[in-house]
A and B are shown apart, each in its own frame.
Chain A
Amino acid sequence: MNATPALKRRSFFKLGIGSAIVLALAGGTMALMKPGLVDGKLSQPARLVMTRVAQAMLAGTLPADPAAQRQALDAVLQRTDAFFVGLPTHVLAELDQLLGLLASAPGRRFLVGLSTSWEEATAAETTAALKGMLESGTELRIQACQGLHDLVMVPYFSGKESWTVLGYPGPTAV
């Protein structure tokens, strides 16, 4: 498979990160990276990443009640796995690498700018970090944030629960 733009060494150097971390990640030690996808579905670490990202990106849209929110998030993650089935292999390869990178502590720190673990990150912390990616001026970070945005929004709006939030009545029967 082709190296994705996300993993070009040149891009890492542009971020001004300590070379030890850069080499550890970009030097092919995939051992540091957890898998992003397993059997074409979100790995457990990737599920945690996407849960936190969805909580931030859908803040104010997901139900506030914790139990209802958990249910809504599970539905989004389920639809994310279903969404993967239709994606071309080159996109899946990129997502596998991106999610694996984000799930690892060094990747989370320098790509997202989040020092707290995903487990402990609050919606506010994650939101600030994601906004920072868009404002970073770094192509790699903006691409990554926009990729995450698609991965949250397409599965969320593919579900009929979103129609109630939107006020969409559904298609006209013919």
Chain B
Amino acid sequence: MTALTKLFRTTTFRLSLTYLALFSAAAVVAVFYIYWNTTVLLSRQLNQTIDAELKGLAEQYRAGGLDQLVRIVAERSQTPGNSLYLVADKEGKQLAGNLSAVSPQLWDSLGPVEFVYSRPALGGVERRLAFANVFRLPGGYRLIVGRDIEDRRELARLIRTTMLWGLGVMALVGIGGGYWVSRRILTRIDGLSATTRTIMAGDLTGRLPLSGSGDELDRLSESLNLMLARIEQLMAGLREVSDNIAHDLKTPLNRLRNRVEEALREPYDETAYRETLERTIEEADGLIKTFNALLSIARLEAGAGGENRGKLDMAALVRDVAELYEPVAEERGIALRSEVPEPIVIHGDRQLLGQAIANLIDNALKYGAPSGEGGNGWAPEVEVRAQASGGVAQIVVSDRGPGVPAPERARVLGRFVRLEASRSEPGSGLGLSLVAAVARLHGGSLRLEDNEPGLRVVLALPMEGDALVNGVVTEPPAGADLRPT
């Protein structure tokens, strides 16, 4: 496809042509209307003046007979202008007037007629168009009163020519303008598709150019850029996950393999074999758990899952999960208090939200004990609250543990991230990532705050059902971050 055919195929160009055609048609109609009206008006005026003059001459004739008529006509013929007169006898001989040779056709006609007459001019005779009224007088005499309308014809010709030229220029400007506008838009579109192609080729950092005019193409580019940012973020997440998988899944796999290899090499007794096998199964189970958590997060982040959403009472769910963990807290000597005043109805997936709350409470119980020599002066306590305000349901889990230092809050959001202090506790570093993914799937967010001392995690979810966006980006707010489990 040549550049020109490509241009002609653009929507802009086709639109320009259509508009041009419509506009030309309208212009032709308008000009023609004006032209026609003008002609009609002029003809009527001409008829009226000629009629009036004839009437005057007829009165003269009645009053003074042919002689007076001849005299008056001869007189009037002297005044320069467009008026044409002729008084002739029945042979056609001119008695008076400025109209000389008359065609027999004119001579025989009666009433208003258009004809061509000759007039002496510079360097000869010129033929001009005239309009006249032929009047028969008794005795075969004729009186002809007319006007030279050559100028009028000239005017009409001028209007026609102007109109044609105008239309021609309009067409040229229209086509040219259409070409120019199309070229401009085509250039920008070509720019956009070129960028898109580079991005598709693998350079995800590329962004579509903006002209800065804020027009519709800019707005489209902005949306596409947002989409690209989201894709880049997802791809980065994917890369990060594969790196993490390499590390956090291969390490236990390696451990498992070493153990089995060792058991094969060393002469073990049955109990030792048994023990090795049991530990192998344990390790495998741990791997399966990590793997499942990773898959869940990946699915949630891709916007899948959560198809079993329905109306549910968040408060009841929080109470329920807190009750599930209550004996564990008691066993660990931590007071687990839940403050859930009234029902908070939201639209969500009970299993996913249950898991999110469970992860938060589990985290708080695992890492939320006051640490350091003799603790930090606070009694070990975990508080779970559910509250609703301004269309947002909030689940707040706070502890009195060491908390997460503000600069670390950004980091612990990632998968597999575990703070050094928590390495001694079992966990995969995926718990909070999963909570964040669940929050995002429900159109909500996850925030880490300072509980002075301790950590306060706030899971905020929109309460309106239609506020739920499946898999749509909600950028994690600055400082919103997660702690490992």
A binds B: no
